[in-house]
Structure 1
Amino acid sequence: MRTARVVVVGSANADVVVDVDHRPADGETVLGSDAVVSPGGKGANQAVAAGRLGGHVAFVGCVGDDAHGRMLRTSISEAGVDVSALRTVQAPTGTAIILITPDGENSIVVAPGANRLVDETMIDQVTWAAGDVLVVQLEIPLPTVEHAVRRARRADVRVVVNAAPAALLPAPVLEAADPLVVNESEAALLVSGSTAPSTQVPVPGPASDTVRRLLELGPRSVVLTLGAQGAVLGRRDPAGAVVLTHVEAREVTAIDTTGAGDAFVGALALGLAEDAPLDGAVVRATDVAACAVGRRGAQDSYPTSDELSAMTRSAPRVRDA
């Protein structure tokens, strides 16, 4: 029998990371550490996270014909990911400028570069099969995301939509999401319907209320990530009633949160491809993210399945929300 795949369509970036004492205020210059360059990008990160766990993973994206592009191709392929649909184009590889403060939190600015050239023709070359799981994010052109979702649904492929960076989504994309995965700021923008920067969007109320409001937008299920507080997932039962579950995060000391959300999404998608129930897939995804925040970098921080198994198992962390 053919093994179900995780097909990630998305971005690949070179992460340029600088440690700073604090984020600069308007007009302020801050001295930081020497810059460190490592492989990143939401799409590539998610593919690598699933690949390092032993999944059957394919990545669709673009890099430039430059040192950063070669670094990314090597990192993704070494994770066991199929890179036959990773196209080298005449544009610089995408770059992310990342500032990390002593608490491990980050601020990120992305220069898309080659990611702007991920187009619909690349999606048309993908051979879909029932049981596959498509993962999309928003660092590539939205029309490409829409086309990928449309093609996947025609092939009865499950769609995981990570609405990051924060943006409003067309109804067909929201309605295909199973689940829609967002953090609190991304959720705030979606439920408000505002196109203002996320810092100007009102913070949503309790997580359970936010998940209910997100479900009203049409996705088949929702996962709201809450960092150290874990995640709340919501779906409807056969009678149409909303069922909410809270998965608690494992307690760890955060060193670098860069790419932790991507690690979560990649692990979640793999769990779904392996026919795990949504709450079970979320439990493993929170463990993978916990491993990631305890190490430096994005892709470099992701655990293998053996490393994940070595984590100490504790009491169940799933309860009604």
Structure 2
Amino acid sequence: MIVVFGSVNVDLVARVDRFPHAGETVTGSDHVVAAGGKGANQALAARRMGADVTFIGATGTDAFADLALAHLRRDGVDLRHVAVVEGATGLAFITVDGYAENQIVLSPGANGRLKAAALDAVAVKPNDVLLVQGEVSMTETEKALAWGRERGMRRLLNLAPAVPVSSRLLSHVDILIVNEAELRQVAERVGASGSAASAAEQLASELGLGVVVTLGALGAIAHVDGEVARSPGFPVTPVDTTGAGDAFVGAFAAALDASRPVMEAVRLGCAAGSLACLKAGAQPSLPTRQEVERVLTEPAAS
């Protein structure tokens, strides 16, 4: 089982030819209202890859709350421990430009009141997976990681966005998952430098944990338990990259939960991330296990 402790939002996505400069207004061609939040996205991504997933998050009492959980509920994510707090559900304001790049502004809402104590109601076993991110309180996230460590869970931290974290928090982490920009911010604290592969190796050695770095269209590289695993990306013409990182993390976590090797987990993550670029919005774009496996067989069939 995978337990995801993290954020749940509603995403308001507008497409523009280019991002505005400071003080400028640009007109978008269309917009999408969709469920999102890194915690919820990754929970759904793992569920669509076949994992049993329990989500721990918080919504508000506004009209966005039901929409925020709609995909998770439909796909069978366990939502029994999601808190409802007075006030607004989290919102993300996202613009996507003509190159399928995005800019995001977060309004945390109920996510700012999520407590790790909610985990106490969840029954877990050793080697279950705990997955956390950087969108909720890092104080509560550290408590969640310590909770998972006490129970012998495998603990994954996707440090997105790359907020400051303490050495104590990182001591509770088994595998750190970051993109290149996030890698640089974390690597600076231990003086790691060089290429992404070199910085990841140094970071893994200095901090004594596994490090996985996503490289966008170039794929991903992992240094985990002394093993180096690398997968190229899968060529696609992107429509929207918003959910790609979450698709990778969810698929990677699901593969580990199924006791698949790290190399396989990285490759599954890359395939899922590539597929997520083909649709607008975060959760609507997350692929199923069947879609990912179909992509994995195509090179061999060609």
> What TM-score, normalized to structure 1?
0.89
Q: Which amino acid in the other structure matches residue 26 of structure 2?
A: V
Among residues 184, 192, 216, which one is paired with 1:227 in the alignment? 216
State the match for 2:238 in structure 1: 254
Matches within 5 A, 1:173-192: 173-192=169-188
Q: Which amino acid in the other structure matches residue 2 of structure 2?
A: V
| C-alpha separation in 2, matches of 1:189 and 1:203 | 10
Among residues 192, 198, 211, which one is paired with 2:200 in the alignment? 211
Compute the displacement of 1:109 (Å). Answer: 0.7
Compute the displacement of 1:175 (Å). Answer: 2.7
Which structure shows the bigger proportion of residues in helix conformation? Answer: 2
| C-alpha separation in 2, matches of 1:312 and 1:128 | 31
- Is 1:272 the counterpart of 2:261? The answer is no
Matches within 5 A, 1:237-316: 237=226, 243-311=227-295, 313-314=297-298
Structure 1 runs not aligned, ≥5 long: 195-201, 238-242, 317-321
Identity of aligned residues (%): 38
State the match for 1:88 in structure 2: 84
State the match for 2:24 in structure 1: 28
Q: Which amino acid in the other structure matches residue 261 of structure 2?
A: P
Compute the displacement of 1:87 (Å). Answer: 1.3
| C-alpha separation in 1, matches of 2:31 and 2:286 | 21
Structure 2 runs not aligned, ≥5 long: none
State the match for 1:197 in structure 2: none
| C-alpha separation in 1, matches of 2:219 and 2:289 | 20
| C-alpha separation in 1, matches of 2:249 and 2:5 | 13
State the match for 1:51 in structure 2: 47
Which 10-residue stretch deviates more, 217-226 or 266-275? 217-226
Matches within 5 A, 1:13-162: 13-162=9-158
Contact 1:20 1:101 in 2 (8 A): yes
Question: Deviations 1:197-232 (Å, cap 9, x if unpaired)?
Answer: xxxxx9953111121232144142110000000001
Runs (4+) off by over 4 Å: none
Question: Deviations 1:253-304 (Å, cap 9, x if unpaired)?
Answer: 1111011101111111111110011111111111111111111111111112
| C-alpha separation in 2, matches of 1:163 and 1:179 | 10
Aligned pair in 2 of structure 1 residues 192, 57: CA closer, same or farther (>3 Å)? same
Contact 1:207 1:224 in 2 (8 A): yes
| C-alpha separation in 2, matches of 1:149 and 1:106 | 30
RMSD: 1.9
Contact 2:7 2:111 in 1 (8 A): yes
SS of aligned partner of 1:173 = helix
State the match for 1:319 in structure 2: none
Aligned residue-pair number? 300
| C-alpha separation in 2, matches of 1:262 and 1:38 | 15
Q: Which amino acid in the other structure matches residue 272 of structure 1?
A: L
> What TM-score, normalized to structure 2?
0.94
| C-alpha separation in 1, matches of 2:194 and 2:102 | 24
